[in-house]
Amino acid sequence: MTSPIIHHVSVINRDRYVTFDFYHKLLGLEFLLKTVNQDEIEMIHLFFGDKAGRPGTEFSVFEMPSAPEKQFGTNSLERTVFAVPSEASLEFWLARFEAFDVFNCEIEQYQGRKYLHFEDRDGIQLALTPLRSGDPSQQAPHQSAGIPLEHAILGIDSFQCRVRYADASARAFIKMHDLQKIETYEHNDHQVTVLGRNHVLFGQQLHLIEDRNRDIEQEGIGSVQHIALNAVTRDYLLKVEEMILNINFRYSGIKQRDFFESLYYREPNNLLIEVATEQTNFVKLPGETEDYDAIPLFLPDFLEDRRSYIENRIKRQ
């Protein structure tokens, strides 16, 4: 399998049921896992992706009902762009969004390509664009009622960050993650630096929008909490850890997440970056995925002896 640059994206929403309905039922993503945040075990954590739960297709959501609303600004992880099979797919999704009252900006030209920008129910910024690289027939999207496979979301095409000092972020991403500067372009009076690499899943890219005018974003409902970049092997993860220690970035140490290993660090514009191993282990538990409450809660082995406490604490009142 071609490896991705972007392993997954994790965002903050208000309500588990609204999240489940939007990403699984409306967008048609496979529901991979219902679990908790291993660092805050009273917080629901939901995973979506393709049928295989492959890195490069994964999108996860933390439920934080009492969090404040996001205050838009710079130094932010801003928008996830998903790949769909074709330009005709954008027309299908525009009609579906209108039918389900999803906020969108209709089909636009951006970076010489067609995009459909939209938001989820909590203001998470998203977009769709035709597949940049690869054969749609070789992908494994979830087969969903009402969404033909020829228009199904395939995975993550790219991710947009808004930062005060794009060159600082670009240098760190290039050095630590073997990326290359592909191009720069102007958009809405901001210079955008595009990073990527040859022969990656979906032709994935990172876009760094330089914005020195806005205040720093205040994280909350509607924010991207972190993006995870892909570590092809554990040795790669250890190499990144060594570089972090040499640069003296703030970081978490390596964590065993049961379904992968990862570490977290803050890059020069204070964006939270996870680096996660490509060898994922999503084991779907039996349950009817159209009924959220019927889906069993997955817990890693080290939390099993606390299952009763956790299930009681996360129970919806």
Q: What is the pLDDT of residues 44-92, one digit of tens each?
A: 999 999 998 999 999 999 999 999 999 999 999 999 999 999 999 999 9
The pLDDT value given to residue 280? 81
Q: Measure the CA angle with vertex 24, ends 292 and 231; round to 5°.
A: 110
Who wins on pLDDT, 227 or 142? 227
pTM to 2 decimal places: 0.95
Tokens in use for 165? 């000092």
d(CA 201, CA 199): 7
Amino acid, single-letter form, for residue 62: F
Whether the predicted pLDDT of 284 surpasses 80: no
Tell me, what CATH number does 280's domain have? 3.10.180.10
Q: Summarize pLDDT for 241-256 with one digit per residue, the tens.
A: 999 999 988 899 999 8
Mean pLDDT (the chain) is 93
Q: DSSP 3-state assignment of 293?
A: helix
Q: Report if residue 1 sits inside a domain.
A: no
**Residue 37: its pLDDT value, please?**
94
Q: Look up residue 174 and give its two tokens.
A: 């290039």
* Total domains in the fold of the chain: 1
Can you give the residue range of the structural domain that contains 249?
A: 6-314
pLDDT of 133: 81
Asked if 156 contacts 56 with a C-beta cutoff of 8 angstroms, the reply is yes
CA separation for the pair 191, 170 (Å, rounded)? 13
∠ at Cα 196 (191, 199), nearest 5°? 155
Whether residue 61 lies inside any domain: the answer is yes
Assess if residue 258 is contained within a domain. Answer: yes
